[in-house]
Amino acid sequence: MASRSLNKVVLIGNLTRDPELKYTPAGVAVCTFGVATNRSWTTADGSRKDEAQYHRIVAWQKLAELCGKLLVKGRKVYLEGRLMYRTFTGRDGVQRTIAEIVLDDFIVFGDMRKPSETAEEIKTEEPAEKSKAGVASATGGISEGEIPVEENTDTAKNSRKPEVNEDINPDDIPF
């Protein structure tokens, strides 16, 4: 009987560069980008120290295409994946080993505007665009601000919204 093992990486950090989307000769999408995670601590003498770690992220297939569309430098992102080591021979003939995180899932934090947009651009934005701001998930679930649209508008007008019960007892919540 084989013993079980686990190779899982969970990170929350900021993109250090824009994702680079490429395709293999077989037509498979591959996207690479960098993420920085920060750590702060206080030393015994009371001084504050900061440290940044940089991670190389690789996404494949449909997930790679989503990364190429949704991610930009500076964006805060939640990542799940697995750690993988790859050995290659460099141009100078020296054999090197690098660590990569192969992406399984990600969630983009904040609104979907690019960080470079100015406050003036945000003010002139249409209300329909503002409703799409929120959290984007690679798993395809409904994000904050997204509402499914019904095809038949007559049924949508006649359907009643369920009443919200404001008298919720905190002891009834299962978590």
Cα of 133 vs its chain's centroid, Å: 14
Q: What is the pTM of this model?
A: 0.61
Could you give the angle at the alpha carbon of 99 between the alpha carbons of 98 and 103, nearest 5°?
135
Q: What is the per-residue pLDDT across 13-30, written as a single tens digit (0 to 9) for each?
A: 999 999 999 999 999 999
Checking if the pLDDT of 85 tops 80, the result is yes
Out of 2-6, 51-55, 103-107, least confident range: 2-6
Per the domain annotation, does 168 fall within a domain? no
Question: Under a CB-based contact definition with an 8 Å cutoff, are residues 29 and 91 in contact?
Answer: no
Per the domain annotation, does 2 fall within a domain? no
Per the domain annotation, does 138 fall within a domain? yes
Number of domains in the chain: 1
Buried b / exposed e over 29-45, threshold 16 CB at 10 Å, is bbbbbbbeeeeeeeeee
- Say which CATH number the domain at 115 has: 2.40.50.140
Which structural domain, as residue segments, surrounds residue 15? 9-40+50-160
